[in-house]
Amino acid sequence: MANLKEVKERITSVVSTQQITKAMKMVSAAKLRRAQDKIVQMRPYSQKLTQILNNVSAASDGAADIVFAEKREVSNVLIIPVTSDKGLCGAFNTNVIKAVNLAVARQFAGKNITILPIGKKAFEAFKKRDFKLVSDYSQLFQDLTFDNVRNAAEFAMNAFIAGEFDQVVLVFNEFKNVATQEVQVEQFLPMAKDDSGEEKTADTDYLLEPSRKYIIEELVPTSLKIQFYKAVLESNASEHGARMTAMDKATDNAGELLKELRLMYNRTRQAAITNEILEIVSGANALGGK
């Protein structure tokens, strides 16, 4: 059985850890509220912009003239995993990395893969692999703004137009609620057709100024950048939700461990007192026998 000093040191250590996990939970909760507000405000805008683009494209005989919708034989693939810069958020980062590895092994087997990691954890995970790495945007979360995210989106879009990549894929955690984040493997380029099944308004007679071509050329890049930014915001909110949940569980586990350690401490202390009493009684009996 451990001595009292060892048990007391463990109790002190666990109490200190519990205080840290409580503080991290509170910090994540505050950050989550701000991140959640951003993504909740972004979703309607992104959905409406996509709807407008689909309607205008349908009214102009599809997306045949949209360069970002050009489909080619897939040889070179750019995968963009979005993770966090820090750990202690459960399986948040691991799930994204696993999804990328699974996509490479199944969906893109035999293709030339390039990784553009967003987030320190993704960069650290893939820099040890044989993939070609574009690390310019790995520290994007240190200053998360639309301008910085737009730069990463424009890199992928320009590379697609130049023919460097035939397909661009985003892998990120979609925010559902505090306890639930779902990994999404989403095709970014070429633009996927809208298979939502919603009724299109292709028969609507639009009045477009200055021209239909100009509107599409302006809408498509904007829509893609917003889609990219939305994925990064989803991941940001998911990170804080995952960390909040992980720290909450860690705090509860620390509490359970403290109960066991305090019970052990009391038993050890009681055993020590009992031994001392026995020694005193034995000594008194020995003296009385003389």
pLDDT of 58 strictly over 80 = no
CA-nearest of 155, 154, 144, 148 to 237 is 144
Question: What are the CA-CA distances from residue 177 to residues 90, 133, 239 (Å)?
Answer: 15, 32, 11
Dist CA 168 CA 153 (whole Å)? 10
pLDDT of residue 273: 85
Asked whether the predicted pLDDT for residue 239 surpasses 50, the reply is yes
Position 289 pLDDT exceeds 80: no
Low-confidence winner among 148-152, 188-192, 195-199 (lowest mean pLDDT)? 195-199
Of the pLDDT bands very low, low, confident and very high (cuts 50, 70, 90), residue 57 is low
Cα dihedral 253, 258, 260, 261 in deg (nearest 10): 140
Q: Which residues contact 244 (CB under 8 A, 6 or more apart)?
A: 25, 28, 29, 32, 178
Domain edges within the chain:
64-192+204-243
At 121 the pLDDT is 95
Residue 51: the pLDDT is: 78
Question: Tokens representing 175?
Answer: 């925010």
C-beta of residue 21 within 8 angstroms of C-beta of residue 251: yes
Q: What pLDDT, on a 0 to 100 scale, did the predictor assign at position 200? A: 46
pTM of the model: 0.84
Q: What is the CATH number of domain 64-192+204-243?
A: 3.40.1380.10
- Active-site choice (35, 63, 78, 89): 89
pLDDT at 64 over 80: no
Cis peptide before 190 (omega within 30 of 0): yes
Q: What was the pLDDT predicted at 280?
A: 84
Confidence tier at 202 by pLDDT (50, 70, 90): very low
Spatial CA neighbour of 226 closest among 51, 41, 42? 42
Asked whether 208 and 220 are in contact (CB, 8 A), the reply is no
**Residue spans of alpha helices (H) in the chain:** 4-59, 92-105, 120-126, 146-161, 212-289
Closest CA to 118 of 285, 19, 232: 232
89 is catalytic: yes
